[in-house]
């Protein structure tokens, strides 16, 4: 159970780390976004971009679907599915679900005697909408229904996300945009047992620079209420029309350092994508030092 908590919470140096409920909401479930270290607040064009900021719902302007799978550390598996589309010329919608399952774990008493097994699971159902106020500004609102279970206990919650993006007009500089977001604002309706946990609220802002269709640079600053300030950045570049390479870095990698030689890769993220026709397969590889390796796959379809 301790490995699960470490993997989900990534407990850091902040005294509030790991104290909120529904901590799985901090995990980046999709491959494209994970490969750029989760730097998504100003720009995220994938079908589940609305999961990171509701202002991204329907951003691509067409019907898109996505399936994702994350082989996380400590035997954790995360699945995701999403759909987004533009409703009119100035509105968009996104619907998605993220599901986490721990697999089977041993139940023990205080003396270490085995008493059978149990499992942990969480789910997030997200419905988001965006509205383009002008050529420069877009705002979005998202609602989340949350569920979790540990052994025979369960919890439920409701949360909302708000976000906005804006094109930054600088003469001679095209493709520069900014975004802000507040995520997981809500309430634990049903506690596991006694006492409700606070929600894993996050506030953040980001910048994106896409000078052309082949290159995208993102930078985010994020402050979770249950952890310290996080800075993350990513780059993706297309090689022709079929292959995209991605890399990123997040300061959350500092929480993974153990003093060993592998600390140099803590916080680094990498990945690639292959596009063929209306299909795009994305892969992310995240080294998590002593915790192991995390692999993500996402398949996006333009309908």
Q: What average pLDDT does the segment 175-189 reach? A: 96
Tell me the CATH number at 252: 2.40.160.60
Domain that holds residue 30: 2-302
Predicted local distance difference test score (pLDDT) of residue 6: 39
- Tell me how far apart the alpha carbons of residues 9 and 85 are, in angstroms, rounded to a whole number: 32
Residues 6+ apart with CB under 8 A from 172: none
b/e sequence 148-169, b meaning 16+ C-beta within 10 Å: bbbeeeebbbebbbbbbbbbee
The answer to whether 36 touches 217, Cβ cutoff 8 Å, is no
What is the mean predicted confidence (pLDDT) over 168-194?
92
pLDDT at residue 231 is higher than 90: yes
Backbone angles phi, psi at 280, to 5 degrees: -140, 125
Question: Does pLDDT of 89 surpass 50?
Answer: yes
pLDDT exceeds 90 at position 4: no
Q: DSSP 3-state helix, strand, coil percentages of the chain (rounded to 5)?
A: 10, 55, 30
State the pLDDT at residue 223. 96
Nearest Cα residue to 152 out of 98, 100, 116, 204: 116
Q: What is the domain count for the chain?
A: 1
Over the stretch 111-133, which tens digit does the pLDDT of each residue have?
777 777 788 899 999 999 999 99
- Most confident stretch, 53-67, 228-242, 257-271: 228-242
- Within 10 angstroms of residue 88's Cβ, the number of other Cβ atoms is 9
pLDDT at 8: 45
pLDDT confidence tier of residue 99, bands split at 50, 70 and 90: very high
pLDDT in tens, 142-161: 999 999 998 888 999 999 99
Instruction: Count the neighbouring beta carbons within 10 Å of the beta carbon of residue 196.
Output: 14
Say how far apart CA 213 and CA 43 lie, in whole Å: 13
pLDDT of residue 7: 47
pLDDT of res. 72: 81
pLDDT at 9 over 50: no
Q: What is the pLDDT of residue 51?
A: 96
Residue-level length of the chain? 303
CA 152, CA 119: separation in Å to the nearest integer?
9
Numbers of helices and strands, H then E, in the chain: 2, 14
Q: Band the pLDDT of 260: cuts 50, 70, 90.
A: low
What per-residue confidence (pLDDT) applies to 289? Answer: 65
Residue 254 phi, psi dihedral angles, 5° rounding: -60, -30
Q: Is the pLDDT of residue 188 over 70?
A: yes
The per-residue pLDDT of the chain, averaged, comes to 88
- Tens of pLDDT, residue by residue over 270-284, are 999 999 999 999 999
């Amino acid at each position: 159970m301790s490995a699960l908590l470490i993997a989900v919470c990534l407990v850091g140096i902040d005294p509030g780390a790991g104290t909120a409920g529904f901590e799985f909401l901090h995990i980046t479930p999709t491959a494209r976004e994970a490969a750029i270290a989760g730097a998504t607040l100003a720009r995220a064009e994938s079908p589940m971009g609305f999961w990171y900021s509701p202002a991204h719902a329907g951003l691509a302007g067409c019907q898109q679907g996505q399936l994702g799978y994350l082989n996380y550390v400590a035997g954790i598996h995360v699945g995701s599915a999403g759909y987004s589309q533009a409703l009119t010329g100035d509105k968009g919608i996104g619907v998605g679900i993220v599901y986490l399952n721990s697999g089977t774990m041993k139940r023990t008493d205080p003396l270490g005697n085995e008493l059978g097994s149990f499992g942990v699971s969480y789910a997030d159902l997200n419905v988001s909408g965006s509205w383009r106020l002008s050529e420069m500004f877009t705002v979005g609102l998202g609602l989340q229904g949350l569920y979790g279970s540990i052994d025979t206990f369960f919890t439920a919650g409701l949360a909302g996300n708000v976000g906005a993006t804006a094109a930054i007009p600088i003469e001679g500089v095209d493709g520069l945009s900014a975004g802000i977001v507040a995520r997981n604002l809500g309430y634990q309706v049903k506690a596991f047992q006694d006492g409700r946990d606070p929600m894993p609220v996050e506030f953040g802002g980001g910048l994106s620079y896409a000078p052309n269709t082949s290159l995208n640079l993102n930078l985010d600053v994020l402050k979770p209420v249950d952890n310290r300030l996080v800075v993350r950045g990513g780059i993706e570049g297309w090689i022709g029309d079929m292959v995209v390479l991605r890399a990123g870095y997040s300061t959350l990698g500092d929480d993974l350092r153990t003093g060993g030689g592998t600390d140099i890769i803590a916080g680094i993220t990498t990945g690639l994508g292959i596009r063929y026709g209306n299909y795009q397969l994305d892969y992310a590889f995240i080294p998590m030092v002593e915790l192991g390796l995390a692999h993500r796959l996402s398949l996006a379809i333009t309908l």
